[in-house]
Structure 1
Amino acid sequence: MNNTLLGQVTIGSDKLAASGALLQLKEFDTTDAQSDGLSNTTKGLGMPRVELKALDGDLGLSMGVQGGSLDKTTHIGLTVYHVGDLCSPIAAGIYVWSGDNWQYLGGTVPRRDRASFNEASGILTDFEGNQYTTKVFGTKRWMTQNLRAIRKPDGTCIDPVDGVRFNPAKNATVMPLAQIKVLGVMPSGNVTYTENGIVKTMTNEAFVSIFGLFYTWNQAMVACPKGWHVASVQDWADLTTTLGVTDLGAKLRGNVGATYKTTDSGVGYKWGSADPAVTISGFNILPAGWVREDGLNAVAFSTSAYLWTSAPAGGYRYLSFSGSTLSSFGSGNLNFRFSVRCVQD
């Protein structure tokens, strides 16, 4: 049975206790104008600070020591503070050993694997709980939305150093790194763009749920949910065969006939054909643009979509507002950041 532990005590200060502290003592010299709230006493009662490697199994191994060195039964009730960082698959916080596993008591939001696939509805859910619509084209099931995962199928960050990116409806604009870097969590903020003459303002998270995130080729190769893979050259070839080459670009596009405009451009681009005779496939590519290799320069929102393939040379597929075909390139800069569509294994 899990219990929630929220209480921490600090004596001598109204400031929050350090993470994992049960009792923290602080003393302030109120006569010293230079103290500025700094404490000269930081001792108190704290928990052992460890880095848990697993939540169950061998107790010793779960704590990063020799396997079999710690008895499961005699250590029931052992309570520790796990110091996992943002990209750790186990959320930082307080854990107690139950005899079979580490139970979470409090700290940060616990991380759990929410990945699943609902065959009846076609809804794919990744580790973080992001949901994607899917559809069968020919003999293969595709995601019909761009990937927006920040974590790998094992729960670790896709790139704990560089992060992934998103294009906040801007073109040829160098932006602060914090505005477009996504590392473990989505940065706060809003995005504004125009669609069919209507100005739309939404949170970064809501925007990304529509247009997806952008990945280098190496990031893309580890980003798809378990049981799915980055579309291969053959996958795209089979899709083209299934849909036919006539007006392929229009068939692949989402919101056909919608006019998009970025926040820093006075030009609006109609995304695809408005011809009612064109059969729309439901593949739903949107003009998300891409991000250059420096990770700071977002380009081509409202005009183009770029999607990786799993080709070792970094091959990718490209669709612009002006053309009706899906262009193919056999090589590219692996550090460009493009959209990703996954196919079921």
Structure 2
Amino acid sequence: MKKLIIFLLLGCFGAAAAINDPAFQQAGGKVISHLQPKERPLDLSCDPFIIVDPDFIFQTGNYFLNCYPAVTTRIYAGNLTENLIVTGVCPYEDGMVYLSLSNKFDYSNSLEITPHNGQIDTILYIRFCPGWFDRHALIYFNSSGCSASADIIVDGEAGNAPVSTLGNILAEPGSSVIVQLRVKDYNYIYQAHYFIGYNPSVLTFTGLGAYIGWFTSAWATVISPDSAFLEILFECPIDVYMECPDYEKLAELCFDYAGGATALTFRDCSFINVYQLVPIDEPASDYYINGSVGPSVRKLQVKVLPEGLYDPVSDSLNPALGSNGPVYPEDVSDQITLALHSVMPCHTGIFSADSVFMDRTGIASINVPVEFSNNHYLTARHRNSIETWSAQPVSFADCMVNYDFSLAQSQAYGNNLKAAGNRFVIFSGDINQDGITDPDDMTLIYNAASVFASGYLVSDLNGDGQTDTWDMNILDNNAAGFRQKVIPCSTQLPVSITDSVLVVDGISAVAYGKVTKAGTSPVTERGFCWHTGSEPKANGLHYNSGNGSGTFSGMITGLNYNTKYFIRSYGINNEGAAYGNQIIFTTTLYSQGNGLTDTDGNYYNTVIIGTQEWMAENLRTMSYCNGESITNITSNDLWNNTRSGAYCWYNNEISYGEIYGALYNWYAVADDRKLCPAGWHVPDQNDWAVLRSLYLDWHITAGEMMKAEYGWVTGNGNNLSGFLALPGGERGISGNTPFLHEGSMTKFWCSSEYLIGHGFYLNLDQGPAAPMAERSGNFGHSVRCIKD
């Protein structure tokens, strides 16, 4: 017997059907090339001959360790003298291939086809069930006569590579940082090979933190002082694969951060899936989201010399003394206030740091939030000196910003400095901090000196612990010259202060502020402005709170859920707008609903989370929506055996209902008379899924976000969702201890039925998640209603 062989290659991503087979078309298959039998050259001298059609079938899909949909091909044979035997074989023998002529229940790995008048024209159905190693199958055709052969090729695509994302980290120089590598669609991965470029002068790789994988290694290679790459290899044994939930971290990359900024850039990464295929990762921008590490703050170092404390001989500052000697540590002279002001409009403070230590050389250092990256005026103010402005706006583009007021008189706006030895100092004597040295300040010094006042006093200009004639001489010289604050504006804007912001809910907040000075003209408008970006303006989103000086407040509405906002007060006079300090706040995930009343007249608070409006309390009605009473069962035997709607109170004590509501069996939930008030319903699986997955992170923190901040024995939540779940316990089906878990657990029924007499429920316990499960309808659980 001679052998006719048709080779069939079944790809690991699915089988296919014939081109006209609806199942094949529905599955996404397509024929790459297709020749009609009559178009093929036949060697009629050969006996027998055989043709199969189509030649090449391609189908997408993933049927790992499962059977693919049927592949169909046409067999056309002639000049046969005996039956045609068709046999399916898997090379590694851990997969199977099944054959059929009818696509019913007669599949086997071998079949025999009887020719009619020496010919066969039929459809062959093929189902391939791959194993760990078998991703191809061979189909053998055997008959007598001379050999002929044809190929059937069924193949699949490798699929898409996972989406890999590196975090953007802001950190303080000198600290350790962890950059999270997160992935999406990380399924059936046998090997993942990452190359990540970075600047080694900014980061030093110290190792991997937590990671997912069997065999994982990582090492850094430095190419040049400003170029390095990190290579990470994730592998697993040949017969297993790696998976990672969407948006979860695959690995933590640990670095020592020296300072500066660097991009973290994916380079030439690759993957191999469990089928030993290379997934598609082009274009790279769709699959690799680069990250970065940069400073969370900018270091500002200012040198400033208050006139009264400066000693030109030693070129240093004397320590400020109190009644018992130096007030501050040995290397500290005194404290100072440093502030940043916007360029336009002028005189608008945007950031300040009070009580900053100034060392004996006059240097004071602070950290400035990284968001202040523009050019800003810099001011220095000592407790009894004139506030002094930088001559020009200072650039805050770099991580380290230095400014030295003592270098030259031109370092201050309006040359507002005084020569002292080889340095320049800021004028002392503004005791009441009104911006000018004048008789009002002299009166304060005279009064203190007349009673021999001593200690750490604002009237003590030279810091020797005494208010005396030395201090009066310093002030007298400066007051005679009318030394005063010189600012970049010829006119003065209002002075506005943002006091606080109270977040009400996901869409509103209340802000409080004041205008302390009107400036050179009356305040015509005051209020608050806000935006999702820093330094909001009064001509953008704003609230007008009237005019004039004084305190004011405003309700800020129209905000977005779970969003960070920047807000500051403002005051406007004829010279322009002045802004107060900036406050950052974040809205919640929810807003207050309109409430509802049930059939029994019970009122419930409601909460709007995204597009859903939920009860913010557990249901406690004793009647169905149509007014008919729900059966109250206290007996354990009756409760366990009933198959109709019923309710009870925890421990059969109605006092629990005032806190936790009632406990209902699932039959009450499923009753056609409806448990919830009109226009509301018991949530089904989809309602819970929308809440947990779209608005909350159900498998990590949904439970924590749904639970109240109080009432739980352990594991209080943060109630960021406004759901306000309390641990009301449950009624079980055990006769000994029917009431369980008050204080540590609560469960909410779902209207979706699992099996007859069984329903789904959502579980909240002492952990942070919010999983769903199913159980018998005789359990007693809490109920929350959701608006239709």
User: TM-score normalized by structure 2?
Assistant: 0.21
Higher relative CO (Cα under 8 Å, sequence separation at least 6) belongs to 1
Structure with higher strand content: 2
